[in-house]
Structure 1
Amino acid sequence: MTSSPGWSLARRIGFRFAFAFGVLLIYPFPINLIPEAGRLEAAMNKPLEAGTSWLAETVLGLPAPPSEFNASGDRTFDYVQLLLIAILAVLGAVVWTLADRRRRAYPGLAAGLLVVLRYFLAHAMLVYGFLKIMRLQFPELDPYRFDEPIGELSPMGLLWTFMASSKPYTIIAGVSEAIGGVLLLWRRTATLGALVVIPVMTNVVLLNYCYDVPVKLYSTGLLILAIVIASPSLRRLLGAALGRATPEVPPRARMTPRWEWARWIASFAMIAVIAIDVSHKTMGRTDRSPRAKEIYGSWRVAAFIADGVEHPPLTTDDDRWKIVTAGRGLWLTTMTDHREGFAIEVDTTAHTIALIPIGTKTKETWSYTQPTPERLVIDAIHGGRYLHVTLHREPAPLLVTRGFHWINEIPFNH
């Protein structure tokens, strides 16, 4: 085995920083993939979380940022933690440089880091890919979306509506991500996998930035990782694209048979752990849509009787319902366009709807009948009043009924 040529001082220092930064960025991967390791993961995260809070409050003078996960990856906490990781990486590179002045290169350590980063990126792409394939990230449009004026949608809400309105596009996007993730699992196809991920994640990053989706830091990090993984081969790929002769890829340095077996076992163990975690996070989940398809949809109130008094449809009456939408939850819209949301459970045998207002624990139970598929009658005690409400099903909107057409004699940009 030939020795690797020495690296320049700048390259050695840069690698030391990049190594420390990369390890801290994906920390505590792959421990967080081990089943039933939640307590260990939480314990491992505590020092970094404590350091982030200290940096925010003591050094930056910020209010203590909450560290509890709330589906946003662009919190103040996340930005401060990224700053802390950069500071720790700089300090680590300085200490490493002072303590290890004789080492001229780190080819083995660099190769090992690329392997770990490759598995991290593969896992992320497979999770996001299968979330789309299984229609969990962009599920079927909830009926309440159809009653919202487009001007009241947030940019993120508009993006979610756009993606969810096309099942084929969402699935194809997921397949593209999953293909990149699968290719990254093996060394021989890792470069191809990174080249698949780069354009896919470039599109994702642009969507996140342009539609204010709060995973900008995470998606940008995944794109950078894909570029880093592909970078050792970029010069050869560019040369091949320009028709120039490219040097052969040097063979991987072989280890002793015992270490080769250990490498194979570790690789397959990592792939197995990734497969189990991806399956748990995607295929083990289901859409939360209620299975009572007969009441699923948007219903317009035809008659509203409260405590025996019928309320006419006056636009100034905040007590009278205008629209009821049943989907993953239930939403009431009053005549003044005030909205109230509920988590629901529908019992189709007893013909009851159990509701819990969002943000409370007060449970209500309504009864319903459905004389025809297009007519719904609700009897309920809500807001201290006995209600008898007759509703008619709204027709499905154009967004979900238009469909695909090979032939369009004129543009249908409605």
Structure 2
Amino acid sequence: MHMAIRRIAILFCFTWFAFLCVPVTPQFWQELFALNWSEPGYSNLFRLAHYTPRIYPGPDTFLNWAAVAVIAFVIGIAWVLIGREKTGQAELLYYGVRALARYRLAVAIFAYGFLMYHPLLAPYPSLSNLNTAYGDFTRWKLFSLSLGIVPGYQSFLGLVQVICGLLLLYRKTASIGAFIISIYLGNVFMSNLAYEGGETVYSLYLIILSLFVLSYDARRLIDLLILQRPANPNTYQPEFPSHWLRAGRVVLKASFVLVFVLFYALSTREAFAADRYQFPAASGLSGVHGIYNVIEFERNGTAVPYDSVWTGRWRDVVFEKWPTVSIRSSRNVAIDSNNTEHFESDDRLRTYELEGSAGRHYYSYIVDPAKHILTLSNKNPHYKGETLQFVYSQPDESTLILSGNDFNNDNLKVVLKLRNKKYLIEEAKRTGRRGAIRL
């Protein structure tokens, strides 16, 4: 009876971890064929690397793990009852599932590691972010912005992950990589809990994989380093009796390194040099980048003072380097609370700048340079269909005049004056940490 329970436990672990690592759910294959492979790049590989088994539709939850565990338990019992287990099969299954876990974990670590090494994951704050009150950000957005202002530190964290990923590719160093990455991921998991991040389930998923990889040598490490007694070395060697199995193993490993290490690293480097990733890639209206004070505001021909109780009165306006305008007013903002990684090739769908942020309404815009017309569309998914259209003019380099209709069909005339504002973070970068700063 004891042996049967042990065999069921072994087969349960094998099946459960196999389901966690191997994409068998329809959701993965649907996403795989939905990706745009005509433009290969790091975004497609990241989506594949971010796979977790989904039994239930919607956001990832721990219920998916429970469902997979039930399936694995049934398979383990059935396997033992039909007596298909052979002598020495447990060792081979353990080796196989550990290899799956090593490479599955390495894929995830490389996916995030190279994004952070070329600081893309948490970009430097936009001008609109720098002009948003601290209390208007969610916890997650504050964490992301805090990481974005120190790209050197972000690159260091990415380098640690890449090194750990490389250690996972070799059996002799896999436990070292798993030990380091389990500590690293523990901090990521706690950060997601503390800052209400969207990767709580996924980070715990990777922690479990790293602990499983580490468990192979855990007993020997405890004996040697803690209990200070002799530890038996690992002597198991997988057998590949046929030539094609040995050659296939080498080809698969070389292909993995080529795709998930070399190609992915070059793709992220190219993106860092040529694309803003989180922000729209296109350039905005020339010569208007900056923050503007609203010195005059007319609604339907009537001047509206700055301290007006009408929530539609603009306070200030930011024109980004890309085609985004953000407007601060007393009008409430329904926060776009998305806090998970997503990649969009369409500039209009790149919404990182407004996610987790209140206090400003963000608009993408289209320019008709011949007619001097700006057409603004609210980027927040809570305000779909909200459109404003203005005729713009620039009497001088620091003044911008907008005349047109808002989403309520009110006629507006807005005079904007460029503000010569300095930022502590920018001045600190310019003068160095020990230099004097003047604002």
Q: What range describes the TM-score normalised by the shorter chain of this pair?
A: 0.7 to 0.9
Distance of 1:127 and 1:342 partners within structure 2: 31
Letter paired with 2:325 = L
Letter paired with 2:405 = I
**Are 2:70 and 1:87 equivalent residues in the alignment?**
yes
**Are 2:150 and 1:166 equivalent residues in the alignment?**
yes
Q: 1:304 to 1:119 in 2, by over 3 A?
A: same
Aligned length: 375
**Are 2:418 and 1:397 equivalent residues in the alignment?**
no
Distance of 1:232 and 1:197 partners within structure 2: 15
Distance of 1:264 and 1:32 partners within structure 2: 30
Paired residues of 1:33 and 1:274 also in contact (CA < 8 A): no
- Equivalence for 1:304: 297
Letter paired with 2:327 = L
TM-superposed deviation, 1:368: 4.0
Aligned with 2:246 (options 260, 276, 283):
260
- Structure 2 unaligned segments of length 5 or more: list them: 36-52, 334-359
- Equivalence for 2:123: 139
Within 5 Å, give how 1:252-291 maps onto structure 2.
252-256=237-241, 257-275=243-261, 278=264, 282=268, 286-287=276-277, 288-289=279-280, 291=283
Please provide the CA RMSD for this pair. 3.7
Distance of 1:133 and 1:369 partners within structure 2: 42
Aligned with 1:18 (options 13, 24, 28):
13
- Equivalence for 2:405: 381
Paired residues of 2:123 and 2:145 also in contact (CA < 8 A): no
- Structure 1 unaligned segments of length 5 or more: list them: 1-6, 41-47, 53-66
Task: Please state whether the residue corresponding to 2:208 is helix, strand or coil.
Answer: helix
Distance of 1:343 and 1:205 partners within structure 2: 34
- Equivalence for 2:376: 355
Paired residues of 1:32 and 1:38 also in contact (CA < 8 A): no
TM (normalized to structure 2)?
0.72
TM-superposed deviation, 1:278: 3.9
**C-alpha deviations, 1:348-380, integer Å up to 9, x for none?**
898654422234246555454556665443344
Aligned with 2:188 (options 194, 204, 218):
204
Task: Please state whether the residue corresponding to 2:296 is helix, strand or coil.
Answer: strand
**C-alpha deviations, 1:244-294, integer Å up to 9, x for none?**
544333262442333211211222233334348846984556422453384
TM-superposed deviation, 1:393: 3.8
Q: 1:169 to 1:246 in 2, by over 3 A?
A: same
Identity, % of aligned positions:
21
Distance of 1:207 and 1:308 partners within structure 2: 51
**C-alpha deviations, 1:41-83, integer Å up to 9, x for none?**
xxxxxxx86x63xxxxxxxxxxxxxx35xxx54xxxx333222
Letter paired with 1:151 = G
Paired residues of 1:123 and 1:278 also in contact (CA < 8 A): no
- Equivalence for 1:61: none
Task: Please state whether the residue corresponding to 1:24 is helix, strand or coil.
Answer: helix
**C-alpha deviations, 1:23-42, integer Å up to 9, x for none?**
222341799999994269xx
- Equivalence for 1:3: none
Aligned with 2:83 (options 92, 96, 100):
100
